[in-house]
Amino acid sequence: MYDNPVIGGFHPDPSVCRVGEDYYLACSSFEYFPGVPIFHSRDLVHWRQIGNVLDRPSQLDLPPETSASAGIYAPTLRHHAGRFYLITTNVSGGGNFIVTADRPEGPWSDPVWIDLPGVDPDLAWDEDGSCWSAVSGNQVARIDPEAGKVLEGPYPIWSGTGGKYPEAPHLYRVDGWWYLLMSEGGTERGHAVSIARARSPRGPFEPGPVNPILTHRGTDRPIQSTGHADLVQAADGGWWMVLLGTRPRGHSPDFHVLGRETLLTPVTWVDGWPVVGPVEERHPAPDAWHPFPETPSRDDFDGETPALCWVSPRGRPDGSWSLTERPGWLTLHATGPTLDRPGHTFIGRRQQHHDCRVTARLDPGSSRAGLSVRIDEAHHYDLEVSDGQARVIARIGPLRQCVAEHAVPPGPLTLALDFRTRDILPPSATGPAAEPLGIEGRGPDTIAFSADGVLLAELDGRYLSTEVATGFTGRVIGMYVIEGSASFDWFEYDAGGGAGGR
């Protein structure tokens, strides 16, 4: 058996391709740099990050005014004629573009821009080598991916069954048919996947006999918002679907805090149409089983460049960080005076488990620095050290408040964040543990903040959720400095809590 999600945390809009017995997958990254994380697998279940497609400013230029949940949308990853192609959209400037690479880990080329309207662009090749790109809307055009030119079209094609926001179109050529897979209904709880087919990518497309072929809307399944899918045929001939979904927690309307995650589900073909069952938390595994060695949970900052998992909002200027200035430490230099506006120094990683613990060793010097859990500039919790004090600061929409303060020594100290899901008791529960359900008992989790073993505060996690903050991303936990310079000796992310930790 395998567990969903196969890539936890804020890894939405997955696109997958197979090369021999190897699978490669890319996800949206929105306002974060480097952009478009890329993963490798041998069995579709165990994934290891091998790079970031857009890892240079010449590839990813996100202006300071780039808003949260803008930036890079919905890549499509394909392999054709011995080369990797990735097409995506920078909604904050430039539109659609293509990058290529000989190896999936890179280096990837600089962007080739293409004058094609819409987002969520796709790539597919015909028998004669013609390249087609479908975009949300829905339209399709024949393009030259090397020159970035539209050669024919765009033509209007099937727009789904009538759900809002028809998006994420993918074209596949299977047994003489062109299949158009797309999502509709919005990326929230009404998300769905639908299918149509035609003899030519130009259409006309006939819808499948049963649409949508996948949706969890209106159900009480623990996985919700299933959609934005991509298909892949395995090396053994079987078919699989990768897609995004969420795992809401707490009291109605439920809150999802990790963002939209990457899921995997099997596909069968019946009378020439793909059939997909509900996406379960546990599924029978593919025949291949190839776990990778576990990724170290601790970063001691002994390398010359940041690990692949580290991201920063909008960019990471060279002068804002150093791994050589103080060997064995990550030194951060302030580039902005507050986390409440763009332009600050922050390096973080995605929260991938509901129950987890994050610890870091900080030498604050004379800086203002610490750990932050963020959705965006208007929704973050901070454990900040300055002037001999550790403070817990909550920014929720227009409100900002210091909720706790404690004296700490001037030298290095250990900061800790503990994330714990809540067990919601029914109103009829009795006994010593049956405390009344108050407003604080209805969120998805509790976040506890400690400095050198002293608990400073516990905050309700619902305010760092998509349902409160809005947008397309999830929580990112990281290190920051907003005054002077600070150094971090190590950072550790410990997934825990058993099954609840997923």
Catalytic site residues? Answer: 13, 167
**Distance in angstroms between the alpha carbons of the first and the last residue of the chain:** 15
Q: Peptide bond before 212: cis, by omega within 30 degrees of 0?
A: yes
Residue 138 vs residues 40, 200, 371: alpha-carbon distances, Å: 30, 15, 43
Residue linked to tokens 């922050």 = 346
Q: What is the C-alpha separation between 468 and 338, in angstroms, rounded?
A: 21
Distance CA 122, CA 73 (A): 12
Yes or no: say if 90 and 71 are a contact pair by the CB < 8 Å rule: yes
User: Strand pairing partners for 298?
Assistant: 492
Question: Strands 273-276 and 282-283: what pairing?
Answer: unpaired
> Which residue is associated with the tokens 């546990």?
282
Phi-psi domain of 326 (left: phi exceeds 0; alpha: psi -120 through 50; beta: other): beta
**Could you give phi then psi for residue 282, rounded to 5 degrees?**
-135, 135
315-338 exposure pattern, b = at least 16 Cβ within 10 A, e = fewer: bbeeebbbbeeeeebbbbbbbbee
Kindly list the distances between the CA atom of residue 352 and the CA atoms of 6, 7, 348, in Å, as whole numbers in the listed order: 11, 8, 12
Q: How far lies 17's CA from each of 54, 124, 183, 232, 365, in Å?
A: 18, 12, 19, 6, 48
